[in-house]
């Protein structure tokens, strides 16, 4: 795709989202930066809806990093046993809380690079926290963002980092936080992995895959 064509594609897609989804937000429930960090770690390979079922009890039991850092593995595990990969996530949560206490005075850092030093926090999670809590101009690329970006034609990247780089280069800083949610929600409810709902998609006019595939609507 020529650079001019890609610029036009981005302009049309972003304009549609701004007009039709003016106030996107995370579907994870939280009441503090620390609790959002817990929720995002738990959401890895798990639905937000399922995570939201269990976080109220977790938040009540662990209102701050200190209480979680002092918790036993067994206690944390018992609260998240119905969430995917509870063994690893229980260890990550306790380690994350301990590092927040030891290195960051109990505060969730705003810098994505510092966030990735925390157990259980990869680049995607770090960018979510930096974007949602601190309004940093970063874009978190999860499976939905990766899939939708490729299908529409926003990116030809073959890796998460490549897609993140291309989206960052083409989306204005002040729109990146919203763009992250736009693409996630579009992938979650419209441009789904197995059966995309092209008949309900307002972006099909500009979607590369829709124009070139044999999808039947």
How far apart (Å, rounded) are the C-alpha atoms in residues 118 and 107? 12
Given 124, 136, 178, 204, the catalytic residue: 124
- Residue 142 known to be catalytic: yes
Q: Is 199 a catalytic residue?
A: no
CA–CA distance from 117 to each of 97, 113, 191 (Å)?
Answer: 12, 7, 33
Q: 6, exposed or middle or buried, with CB in 10 Å at 0-12, 13-18, 19+? A: middle
Nearest to 30 by CA among 76, 62, 69: 62
Positive or negative CA dihedral for 27, 67, 91, 134?
positive
Catalytic residue among 89, 136, 142, 204: 142
Cβ atoms 192, 153 nearer than 8 A: no
Residues with catalytic roles:
124, 142
């Amino acid at each position: 795709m020529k650079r001019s064509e890609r610029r036009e594609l981005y302009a049309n897609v972003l304009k549609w989202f701004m007009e039709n989804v003016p106030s996107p937000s995370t579907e994870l429930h939280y009441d503090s930066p620390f609790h959002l960090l817990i929720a995002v770690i738990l959401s890895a390979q798990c639905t937000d809806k399922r995570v939201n079922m269990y976080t109220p009890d977790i938040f009540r039991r662990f209102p701050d990093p200190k209480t979680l850092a002092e918790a036993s593995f067994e206690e944390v595990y018992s609260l998240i046993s119905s969430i995917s990969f509870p063994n690893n996530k229980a260890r990550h949560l306790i380690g994350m809380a301990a590092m927040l206490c030891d290195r960051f005075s109990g505060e969730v850092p705003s810098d994505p690079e510092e966030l990735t030093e925390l157990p259980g926090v990869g680049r995607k999670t770090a960018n979510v926290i930096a974007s949602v809590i601190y309004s940093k101009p970063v874009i978190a690329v999860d499976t939905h963002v990766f899939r939708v970006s490729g299908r529409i034609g926003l990116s030809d990247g073959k890796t998460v980092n490549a897609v993140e780089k291309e989206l960052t280069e083409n989306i204005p800083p002040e729109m990146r936080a919203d763009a992250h949610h736009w693409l996630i929600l579009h992938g979650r409810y419209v441009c789904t992995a197995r059966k995309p709902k092209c008949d309900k998609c307002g972006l099909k006019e500009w979607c590369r895959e829709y124009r070139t595939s044999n999808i039947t609507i």
